[in-house]
Amino acid sequence: NAGVTQTPKFQVLKTGQSMTLQCAQDMNHNSMYWYRQDPGMGLRLIYYSASEGTTDKGEVPNGYNVSRLNKREFSLRLESAAPSQTSVYFCASSEWAGTGGGETQYFGPGTRLLVL
């Protein structure tokens, strides 16, 4: 049981290049998320997917697109990378456990992206 996996672990891009960050989970969770982490700012939600076939914008969606390919996979695409997108990107998944259990998010190991 690998949990949440992300590829690549590290990437360097030049301004204007594109790339896709891949995420997969094997916990059969319905919900998946993409966050970015920047120093002193905690985690900020980029996009989320409540279930297969649906996606919605989070707090900082500009410059990103997502695809929920199937229940397991949720990818994040940068069409034209900018230096402001230099960050650490985390994918997470979760399942609603009812009002008594709430919802715990499970995180991948992250992708470190540097845009020059």
Partner 1 sequence: AQSVTQLGSHVSVSEGALVLLRCNYSSSVPPYLFWYVQYPNQGLQLLLKYTSAATLVKGINGFEAEFKKSETSFHLTKPSAHMSDAAEYFCAVSDRRTGGFKTIFGAGTRLFVKA
**Where along the sequence are the contacts to partner 1 (CB under 8 A)?**
4, 31, 33, 40-45, 48, 50, 56, 90, 92, 94, 96, 99-110
| CB 42, min distance to partner 1, A | 4
How far is the C-alpha of 89 from the C-alpha of 17, rounded, in Å?
Answer: 17
| CB 29, min distance to partner 1, A | 10
Cβ closest to partner 1, residue 17 vs residue 45: 45
Cβ closest to partner 1, residue 18 vs residue 57: 57
Cβ closest to partner 1, residue 4 vs residue 78: 4
| CB 106, min distance to partner 1, A | 8
Supply the DSSP symbol for 26.
S
Q: CB–CB of 72/26 below 8 Å?
A: yes
| CB 100, min distance to partner 1, A | 6
Residues with Cβ within 8 Å of 73's Cβ and at least 6 positions away in sequence, in order, are 22, 23, 24
Altogether, the residues listed in the chain come to a count of 116
Look at residues 29, 22, 28, 31 and name the one whose alpha carbon lies nearest to residue 54.
31
